[in-house]
Amino acid sequence: MHDRLRPGDCVGVGAPRNHFPLVPSEKYLFIAGGIGITPLLPMVRQAELLGAVWQLLYSGRTWSSMALCAKLTAAYGERVHAIPQNELGLLDPMAWLGAPRPDTKVYCCGPAPLLAAVDAAWAGRPP
């Protein structure tokens, strides 16, 4: 691209792809690990606009690596739960998921070990 495009060249751009759209629900649990917060931010905002009940679990290696934590906590208060690994250890999905709640949609984005932990915690539960 750097060798072929010149100022003024036309470039085709497609619409963004969304592989996990926000399904309507009265309640949500968002689980973000590190950079996984990025695709969940618009979902959190949409849930807020719709007046849904929601919580966000936001995990990162350290407070400083969770760049949006202070902003999210300031905007949404106690619905944001920050879990810095260096102080609190790894996020334990089972502690937050508890008993199956068919009225709550769970969305998770983050590194593979977090996704595997959420999958394991959710095993045997209804979709």
Work out the angle at residue 102's Cα, subtended by the Cα atoms of residues 98 and 103, and round it to the nearest 5 degrees.
Answer: 105
Spell out the domains of the chain, with CATH numbers in brackets. 27-110 (3.40.50.80)
Among the listed residues 63, 64, 14, 56, the one whose alpha carbon sits nearest the alpha carbon of residue 36: 56
Q: What pLDDT sits at residue 99?
A: 67
Given a contact cutoff of 8 angstroms between Cβ atoms, the answer to whether 88 and 72 are in contact is no
Mean pLDDT of residues grouped by 10 in the chain (127 residues)? 87 79 92 92 95 94 87 93 88 75 86 88 70
Distance between CA atoms of residues 44 and 28, nearest Å: 9
Q: What pLDDT sits at residue 127?
A: 58
Q: What pLDDT sits at residue 91?
A: 83
Q: What pLDDT sits at residue 121?
A: 81
Distances (CA, A) of 81 to 5, 29, 68, 107: 45, 11, 12, 15
Q: What pLDDT sits at residue 100?
A: 63
Q: What pLDDT sits at residue 125?
A: 66
Element (H, E) at 57: strand 53-60
- pTM of the predicted protein model: 0.81
